[in-house]
Structure 1
Amino acid sequence: MPLLLLGQCRVILITLYSVVLLGGTTGAVLMSCMMFRRKSRSMIATIVLNIIVLHSIILVSLPFRLSYYILDVWVFGTFFCRLVGGIIYGHMYITFVFYVAIVILRLLIYFKKLQMQQLQKYHAVVLSIIIWTMGGLIFLPVLFLQYGVDPSYSEERRCFEFYKDLNRGKFITLNYSMIVIMITTVMILFLIQMGVIVQLVKALWPDMWAHQDYRAQIKSFFFLLVIVVCFIPHHVFRVHFIQNYSETNSSELVLYNEVFIALTTVCCLHMVCFVGGVIH
């Protein structure tokens, strides 16, 4: 493995995780204060609180990742390695589901398929319980009973080397399935969302920012944009990684894969955008 490339990737990972840890923690605290101050009981607000909880979980795990890339050795044991490694994937996919839920809810309201008055707080609570339960039932058994169980993971106090499991057929199928589901879902919602925004611009120009419907759809577009920027690059690269990975000669692929995985945590910074007024 080229030492220069290894050093550059470590610097990128340390910088990226540090920025996310600092910015994400600031955003989570400020966003939580703002949400509790408003005391909103809407379904969207409840989903946003779930997203804050998810971001808080990944933020708690980042100092352990930073210590690994700074010290270049894992000192917290094999089980905790699998736990910290699994959190980043669980965070990505469950956050994705909550983002999609917000977009779909707002589209249903826009197309008059759902009335805001029909959405009570208990609906949001039930939806949250369903998403967390499904996420737990799907990802926990896979991450803790299947991924990272090879004895070689604990040989040299290394961590986050679960890509070795890609030689197993069922994990290749699982990865391709998740890639197809995420990209297809985002493409469909992105096209619908853009169509809605164009319609609203035509109908409300030039005072569209004064209308709540337009602002709501822009917020939905922002969530889709976060998915495209943070989650899609990892899944696109994942296809190339699966097709070209081998245990004997894939050092550069492994480093690039770590960078794309780190990019998924950047979604935590969206809270700073909301608190700072970038998205009103």
Structure 2
Amino acid sequence: MELINTTTLPNSFTAKLDTCDLRCRMILIVLYSVVLLGGTAGTVMMSRMMFKRNSQSLIAIIIINIIVLHSILLVTLPFRLSYYVSVVWDFGPFTCRLVSSIIYGHMYLTFVFYVAIVIFRLLNYFKKLQMQCLQKYHMVALCIFIWMVGSFIFLPIFFLHYGIDPSHSQQQRCFEFHKAFNHGHFNVLNYSMVAIMMTTVVALFLVQMVVIYQLIKALWPDMWSHQEYRAQIKSCFFLLVIIVCFIPHHAFRIYFIQKYPESNNSELVLYNEICVALTTVCCLDMLCFIGGVIH
């Protein structure tokens, strides 16, 4: 059965279908379906495990926040799947803006919590922070602070700037906010986010490699029997998720910002949507927890 009957759509809308053709939509449908099913299974099972253990450790509290973030994103994925299957948006312009913006809010807040885990473990290794000295209310306060800062940044952008152009409110279309790249202040914001994420990941990755090298040299050949070595290896998992899921989108965004306003190339939109969808794959991290990759 065909995914869409173009004869039922207005001519002006049909002309826009080339911004995401059948191949693009199939990739997005498969990707979002895998994330929805795997992410839902992972968050449900991980939530049950955390509830049974009733752990109040630093890492456990951060993981709970990541579960909440994943749950918010997963709720929006059926809307995206509906749109890419039918190529018709029936949920109104506000819902379109909300669904579109949540994927970015999820990405950046998840990035912050991943980085927090890596930094805390590095500080613990360098004896700058003793995990035992941290009380539960310290971590709760930190997580509340992260959510508040994220809200203060996200909400003004969403209500005052994101997708408010009248052309975005046309019926039956969604996720075409890349047209805002014609505005200079959005480019500055995007370049800043790319620079922050790239610099943070490179710096943490280099420090992490130095730490692992030192541990291997000191503990060889029995390093796997030492908890400190295993903890630092596990931190690499979070950096790997960032590199695989978030970095491709940010690397391509630089090229997209520079080329799209000049060429108005629908192929660029296609690849950008796939890179955006790739950021949601981080929701499968909970399956890795359940599978024993991270404990």
Deviation at 1:127, TM superposition (A): 0.6
The answer to whether the Cα contact below 8 Å between 1:82 and 1:144 also exists between their aligned partners in 2 is no
Equivalent residues, number: 280
Give me the whole-angstrom Cα distance separating, in 2, the residues matched to 1:213 and 1:203. 12
Structure of higher CA gyration radius: 2
Partner of 1:227: 242
The answer to whether the Cα contact below 8 Å between 1:83 and 1:144 also exists between their aligned partners in 2 is no
Amino acid at match of 2:209: M
Give me the whole-angstrom Cα distance separating, in 2, the residues matched to 1:279 and 1:48. 11
Of residues 23, 36, 53, the one that matches 1:21 is 36
Deviation at 1:249, TM superposition (A): 2.6
Partner of 1:47: 62
TM-score (norm 1): 0.97
* Pair 1:116 & 2:127 matched: no
Partner of 2:155: 140
- Taking the TM superposition and a 5 Å limit, the aligned residue runs for 1:1-280 are 6-246=21-261, 249-280=264-295
Percent identity (aligned): 70
Higher deviation after alignment, 216-225 or 228-237: 216-225
Give me the whole-angstrom Cα distance separating, in 2, the residues matched to 1:253 and 1:261. 12
Deviations, residues 9-40 of structure 1 (Å, cap 9, x unaligned):
10000000000000000110111111111111
Give me the whole-angstrom Cα distance separating, in 2, the residues matched to 1:34 and 1:207. 30
Runs (4+) off by over 4 Å = 1-5
Gap regions ≥5 residues in structure 1: none
The answer to whether the Cα contact below 8 Å between 1:164 and 1:247 also exists between their aligned partners in 2 is no
Give me the whole-angstrom Cα distance separating, in 2, the residues matched to 1:34 and 1:203. 35
The answer to whether the Cα contact below 8 Å between 2:19 and 2:267 also exists between their aligned partners in 1 is no
Deviation at 1:132, TM superposition (A): 0.3
Give me the whole-angstrom Cα distance separating, in 1, the residues matched to 2:52 and 2:93. 41
- Residue 231 of structure 1 aligns to a residue whose secondary structure is helix
Give me the whole-angstrom Cα distance separating, in 1, the residues matched to 2:158 and 2:107. 13
Aligned-residue RMSD, C-alpha: 1.5
Deviation at 1:143, TM superposition (A): 2.0
Residue 260 to residue 26, structure 1, CA distance change in 2 (3 Å)? same
- Residue 246 of structure 1 aligns to a residue whose secondary structure is helix
Residue 2 to residue 86, structure 1, CA distance change in 2 (3 Å)? closer
Deviation at 1:119, TM superposition (A): 1.0
Deviation at 1:235, TM superposition (A): 0.2
Deviations, residues 232-259 of structure 1 (Å, cap 9, x unaligned):
0000000000000128632010111000
- Residue 113 of structure 1 aligns to a residue whose secondary structure is coil
Deviation at 1:209, TM superposition (A): 1.8
The answer to whether the Cα contact below 8 Å between 2:19 and 2:266 also exists between their aligned partners in 1 is no
TM-score (norm 2): 0.92
Amino acid at match of 1:167: N
Give me the whole-angstrom Cα distance separating, in 2, the residues matched to 1:27 and 1:202. 36
Amino acid at match of 2:75: V
Partner of 2:12: none
Give me the whole-angstrom Cα distance separating, in 2, the residues matched to 1:249 and 1:259. 17
The answer to whether the Cα contact below 8 Å between 2:249 and 2:275 also exists between their aligned partners in 1 is yes
Amino acid at match of 1:236: A
